[in-house]
Amino acid sequence: MTDKNSAPWDAGRFVKTLTYFEAIPFISCLQRLFSGREKNEQPNLGGGKRVGVILVAGATGGVGKRVVQRLLERDYRVRALVRDTHRGREMLGEKVELFDADITIPETLTPALMDSVSAVICCTGVRVQPVEGDTPTREKYYQGIKFYMPEVVDSPEIVDYQGIKNLVQVAANHLEPGKQLLFDFKNPSENLKETWGAVDDVVMGGVSESSIRLIENAALFSGNVSTANSGGFASVRTRNFDPSVNLAGYEGIELRVKGDGQRYKFILRTEARWDGISYCFSFDTQKDHWINVRIPFDDLIPVFRAKTLQDAEPFDSSHIYAVQLMLSKFEYDGALNPHFQPGGFALQVETIKAYGGAILPQFMMISSAGVTRPGRPGINLEDEPPAVRMNDQLGGILTWKLRGEDAVRESGLPYTIIRPCALTEEPGSKGLVFEQGDNIRGKVSREDIAELCVQALEQPLASNVTFEVKEADNSDRSSDWEKLFSGLTP
């Protein structure tokens, strides 16, 4: 029997495919019941304002826990870097993903920490005031003034400089300005195997067969394409994202692939339906060579069952339900794939990213006003806050915070460095004053600093700036955050 004639059809594989993708709801429900897999184990790449996860370091501290709360209120996915997961769960609740690590121990900052992360908010650091939720402290005295230092650290150098440097180096290895990593097959997450499955021409009576599996530093999409039974395609597809992925504000998708010289298709779906409209883009590969493939959203072709649609809705990047890779005998509307060869094939995929997004802050650091003042000529220490007056006695705390800032600025990531004046436990919603030059003095609520962090995430004007902030006198908070940031200079 030749490839062009008929061949036995595998009805069992047909049912298995539809069940895996829950195209047969009743059977899928029974499968989950007997396997113990919950429906909420569907892929989740994020459905908030920005796709991806916000990593909060120092999440159980006075500012950090408030940042986490506000991110959750705005439907962000949040990962909290904590040293004690039991305590972290008690303080932060069940909606936060906890990651057990310590920024002062670089070996704990594994690639999994940055999986799907789009931005880091760093609220760590040695403090000179007791804060609810901080680590146990020891008392220090200077000229009759009591201060507090965490018990668990050796010195501000270790936390405020070396710890920040460790964290920002890990972030810089994974984050790219204007891009969002969707799938990283070099550092696969635990649930990646449950995300992708094969959708071959068996669903239309064919006998082609494919799979996707993890190999060293990549995913391998491979198999055999047969034209028997009028077939001729093999593909792998994600289960529907829940919630859908919002890539509004990005220009397209970038693939890092190594192929076999054939032409493949990349497909996005904006409907949760199994057999709905797909938006396709064909790309050629170079045999045994890694290449980057850019797929502009504007170049996607609306297709239904291999036929192009002239009256389809424009591609909506704000609601993406599934991603698919395909090798097909056909292009569109009956035209043949010019590089198609029946038989075995192989496509390696390293990463799938969104590109062309606005340059928004990707590393945010909470520092301190006054970091440049110790040793500055002309400074009258009697007029300075206690932390400035006692910098040497407190282990050079402000000096090391400034070194930590330098590590952030040198990382190459879009950054925001916030230098609050004296932090208080007072209620928030106060007016804020932004200044640069490290000359202001005053106070500011931790509530307002937490809100400032969340607002800065969505402000391009907040990228690559360092500024001081204090509470304004007798003023309610302005809702015009863009105006506040517009007065800052990089």
CA distance 106 to 370: 28
CA distances from 173 to 170, 177, 294, 412, 475 (A): 5, 12, 21, 10, 42
CA distance 332 to 306: 5
Q: Name residues whose C-beta falls within 8 Å of residue 5's C-beta, 6 or more positions apart in sequence.
A: 228
Q: Residue 5: what pLDDT?
A: 60
CA dihedral defined by 290, 291, 292, 297, rounded to 10 degrees?
-120
Q: Residue 135: what pLDDT?
A: 41
CATH superfamily for 53-178+359-486 is NAD(P)-binding Rossmann-like Domain (3.40.50.720)
Nearest to 279 by CA among 320, 251, 234: 320
CA distance 117 to 126: 25
Beta-sheet strands, E only, within 92-136: 97-100, 117-122
CA distances from 178 to 73, 457, 463 (A): 25, 13, 12
Helix, strand, coil share (%) of the chain residues, nearest 5: 25, 30, 45
Nearest to 460 by CA among 75, 68, 52, 178: 178
Q: What is the DSSP string of 210-252?
A: EEEEEETTEEEEEEEE--GGG--EEEEEEPPPSSPB--TT--E
446: left (phi over 0), alpha (psi -120 to 50) or beta: alpha
Answer yes or no: are the C-beta atoms of 173 and 198 closer than 8 Å.
Answer: no
Determine the CATH number of domain 184-355: 2.60.120.430
Say how far residue 99 (Cα) sits from the centre of its chain: 14
Q: Name residues whose C-beta falls within 8 Å of residue 481's C-beta, 6 or more positions apart in sequence.
A: 455, 459
Q: Residue 28: what pLDDT?
A: 43
- Walk along the chain (490 residues) in steps of 10 and give the mean pLDDT of each run: 58 68 50 44 50 92 96 94 94 95 94 91 70 43 44 72 97 93 83 82 88 92 93 93 90 98 97 90 97 98 92 93 96 93 96 94 96 88 82 89 97 97 90 94 94 95 96 74 90
Q: Is 168 exposed, middle or buried (0-12, 13-18, 19+ CB in 10 A)?
A: buried
Q: Residue 26: what pLDDT?
A: 40
Q: What is the pLDDT of residues 429-481, one digit of tens each?
A: 888 999 999 999 999 999 999 999 999 999 999 999 999 999 998 776 666 78
Q: What is the DSSP string of 280-348?
A: EEEEE--BT-EEEEEEEGGG-EEEETTEE-TTPPPP-TT-B-EEEEEEESB-STT-B-TT--SEEEEEE
Question: 53-178+359-486 with 184-355: one CATH topology?
Answer: no
Answer yes or no: are the C-beta atoms of 469 and 432 closer than 8 Å.
Answer: yes
Q: Residue 385: what pLDDT?
A: 82
Domain extent listing, the chain:
53-178+359-486, 184-355
CA distance 325 to 344: 16
Identify residue 421 by its one-letter amino acid code.
C
